[in-house]
Structure 1
């Protein structure tokens, strides 16, 4: 039970500090300003849950493919590496404005393209509305907005620092606790982004978040270095 709690707390803390002010955080906030929040939240959170499960699965399988001693050492190096990376970003980053502008520019380009395509098929949409009224559940489940939120978040997180850190955590901690903590952290961050991400980001210093995350990763690295490897 203690191993589950330890994995949960580590994963929760790491996820929150990694995701606040992240590109996917801003993407969820911007999408929620233009589309129904329920669909954006469902799409973004679904993508993050799938990513957490996949990452934890890879981390859980790693000790079966490589010796636990090596996975432990690799995880320790990952923690120190991510810690130094986050600290460097905290001291050198120009703040969240640059990242927000980058995400907003990308989404604006997609928004204009979608708007142009929508105008061309406006007549067809009138007929489709009648069909959607007959199947509201399916039309919402396969909504382009939901799928867009899912794809942007999923591919935005692929290969991200938080994904690799989740793999490392699951290889060294209880995978079930890592999954629970990761999902809880993703749910908190995504909900905050959808409900008021832009105003929240303006109240939180990106530098403080990056420095806090760096310190947390270094602490994890020290703890992992000092702990014994389970056979």
Structure 2
């Protein structure tokens, strides 16, 4: 692994974990996993995260080919510094941690009532085992997990930061680090994320994430355009 790939990998991994732990899609995956078969929720959420990461990296990689690399370098620097200040402001002045958990849970409760007939717990889980693989793959639960995660991440701070990182770092390292980070976060959410989300301090995570973004911004500002 070259130095540029390793640097992009490390930055992307750290940024992804600190951006995703405890956020809305993390909480949504945790709640869905408590109501539906975990393998379907994991497949839906993780595939959405991987697709989103790859799309973001492609956009970031293509940006220097559309506008000057010097300009994309400065845009990436401003993105990191801006997101760092944003995360710090949210960490110090944001609402309590329980607010987001309650908000996501209420939204999923409303959605769950509308599709209640699609899944009936363990009995339906056993029935699905006897169905053809394609039918399981196109399960409403998997599709629900995919769409909730994909559109929840679309335009999110972490997606924009990934685009900026891919424009300034080695795209291969960014996509590998992003996918590994998303995998770790999604597996954690599905296995026991709701308990974790209710115990960790989102403010602390936001503050650490803010400092990380600012460090990336300073490093990008001081590094030459390559």
TM-score scaled by structure 1?
0.92
Partner of 1:111: 112
Q: Structure 1 unaligned segments of length 5 or more: list them.
A: none
Deviations 1:119-166 (A, max 9, x none): 9xx9xxx9xx99x67742111100000000000000000000000000
- Please say if 1:85 is aligned against 2:81: no
Partner of 1:202: 198
4+ runs of 1 displaced by more than 2 Å?
132-136
Partner of 2:75: 74
CA distance in 2, matches of 1:133, 1:188: 26
Partner of 1:137: 133
Q: Structure 2 unaligned segments of length 5 or more: list them.
A: none
CA distance in 1, matches of 2:72, 2:186: 30
The answer on whether the counterparts of 1:21 and 1:96 sit within 8 Å (CA) in structure 2 is no
Partner of 2:36: 35
Deviation at 1:100, TM superposition (A): 0.7
Deviation at 1:220, TM superposition (A): 0.3
Deviation at 1:9, TM superposition (A): 0.3
Partner of 1:100: 101
CA distance in 2, matches of 1:215, 1:197: 24
- Please say if 1:178 is aligned against 2:174: yes
Q: Secondary structure at the match of 2:161?
A: helix
- Please say if 1:218 is aligned against 2:214: yes
Q: 1:223 to 1:133 in 2, by over 3 A?
A: closer
Q: Secondary structure at the match of 1:228?
A: coil
Q: How does 1:28-67 map to 2 (within 5 A)?
A: 28-67=29-68
CA distance in 1, matches of 2:166, 2:182: 16
Root-mean-square deviation (CA), in Å? 1.8
TM-score scaled by structure 2?
0.94
CA distance in 2, matches of 1:95, 1:89: 10
Number of aligned residue pairs: give it. 220
CA distance in 2, matches of 1:113, 1:204: 31
CA distance in 1, matches of 2:51, 2:133: 22
The answer on whether the counterparts of 2:101 and 2:198 sit within 8 Å (CA) in structure 1 is no
Deviation at 1:198, TM superposition (A): 1.2
Deviations 1:161-210 (A, max 9, x none): 00000000000000000000000000010111000011112332111100
Larger radius of gyration: 1
CA distance in 2, matches of 1:133, 1:139: 10
Q: Secondary structure at the match of 1:40?
A: helix
